Amino acid sequence: MINLKNLNYKELEKFVLEKGWQKFRAKQIAKWLYNKKVKSFQEMTDLSKDIRQTLEKECEINSLQLITYQQSKIDGSIKFLWKLKDGNTIETVLINEKNHKTLCVSTQVGCAVGCRFCYTTKDGLIRNLETSEIVDQYINVQRFLGESEENRISNIVYMGMGEPLANYENVKKSVQIFTHPDMCKLSHRKITISSSGILHQIRKMYEDKDFPEVKLAVSLNASNQNQRAYLMPISQTNTLEELMELLRSIPLKPGWRITLEYVLIKNVNDTPEDAKRLVNLLKKDKHRFKVNLIPFNPYPESDFERPEENRVLAFEKILWDNNIATFIRWSKGRDIAAACGQLRKKELLQIDV
């Protein structure tokens, strides 16, 4: 069975033509999948009965089953738990911002990167998600919310379970679907891919002419190489020096900046000395970057602690005093274990799936 949401627009056109149908049928099918967000082929009423029967026999369009969801009583964020066709589970988080809604999507079941402070990586990597499984997180949550303007999801961040660039082809294809004018029609500037800093994959993304231009966020989390290699084992081979050299060289659209994510961990990387080292790391190219400070979100059995608010504010002040754009991401969804670094499949919801 072919899941049609595994196909980008060119592939969908090819599929249609191979069936002997007119090319415009691809646009019709895309409309039903991504605009109408239908659940069955029989709802595609402007397709002939024969076409619908063929699609029913050879294709599928659903890849996720909603098991349950939880909504934060603090900020309204919603965490969704999905069951995949092979029985694995993933999580997606809807974040209610002041004037828009952001969806944090997962790209893998588990994660192999091994960051010491992240709960997701405790299970290791089980498998990559298919394109359809990434796209259906958006489709299903938007369907859950309804199609009114106030409920429209405008922003997608690839910051859920997994390392997006380790699932390069499926992430690329999902971005193509999200941004295509005949598919999800989302703005390029409203999509952000987060990476732990896999150098060759970041370079590949910027050299790949078929990869739509979207924003990049990189997990930095340290002000020197030894510290980063301790927190993020990937830095042992993708060093901080090499990472910064690459980030200084990649082309950026006017007005765009690279986001550097910095998880603040008590007595590990949250001192004034850390902030000053970070200033020195960024000061030559401060116009290329903005820094998101994320106070660590504790989870069961964690070896680390969340810093006090005054330490977070002091760290932020040092960066702003040196004209480095810095923003504190006070975590959303902490009461439902939906905050940064807390996603970890069904265990967090303590239910049997």
Rg of the chain on CA atoms, in Å: 21
Write down the catalytic residue from 13, 91, 261, 316: 91
In angstroms, the CA 81 to CA 93 distance is 9
308 secondary structure, DSSP code: P
Q: What is the pLDDT of residues 278-295, one digit of tens each?
A: 999 999 999 999 999 999
Write down the catalytic residue from 104, 118, 184, 340: 340
Q: Which of 75, 214, 197 is nearest to 157 (CA)?
A: 214
Residue 97 has pLDDT above 90, yes or no: no
Residue 340 has pLDDT above 60, yes or no: no
pLDDT at 349: 44
Give mean pLDDT, residues 160-177: 97
Lowest mean pLDDT among 6-10, 203-207, 345-349: 345-349
CB atoms within 10 A of CB 218: 21
CATH of 2-60, one of 3.40.50.620, 3.40.640.10, 1.10.150.530, 3.40.190.10: 1.10.150.530
pLDDT at 344: 56
Tell if the pTM clears 0.95, that is, is over it.
Answer: no
Where does the pLDDT of residue 348 fall: very low under 50, low under 70, confident under 90, or very high at 90 and above?
A: very low
Q: What is the pLDDT of residues 123-168, one digit of tens each?
A: 789 999 999 999 999 999 999 999 888 999 999 999 999 999 999 9
For residues 237 and 196, the answer to whether their CB atoms sit within 8 Å is no
pLDDT at 147: 85
Residue 334 has pLDDT above 70, yes or no: no
Where does the pLDDT of residue 331 fall: very low under 50, low under 70, confident under 90, or very high at 90 and above?
A: low
pLDDT at 347: 46
Lowest mean pLDDT among 90-94, 123-127, 317-321: 123-127
Residue 338 has pLDDT above 60, yes or no: no
Q: What is the pLDDT of residues 67-85, one digit of tens each?
A: 999 998 888 899 999 999 9
73 secondary structure, DSSP code: T
Percent of the chain surpassing pLDDT 70: 93
Strand partners, 289: 258
Residue 53 has pLDDT above 80, yes or no: yes
pLDDT at 343: 57
Statement: 64-349 belongs to CATH 3.20.20.70: yes
The residues spanned by each domain of the chain are: 2-60, 64-349
Exposed, middle or buried: residue 173 (CB in 10 Å: 0-12, 13-18, 19+)? buried
91: annotated active-site residue: yes
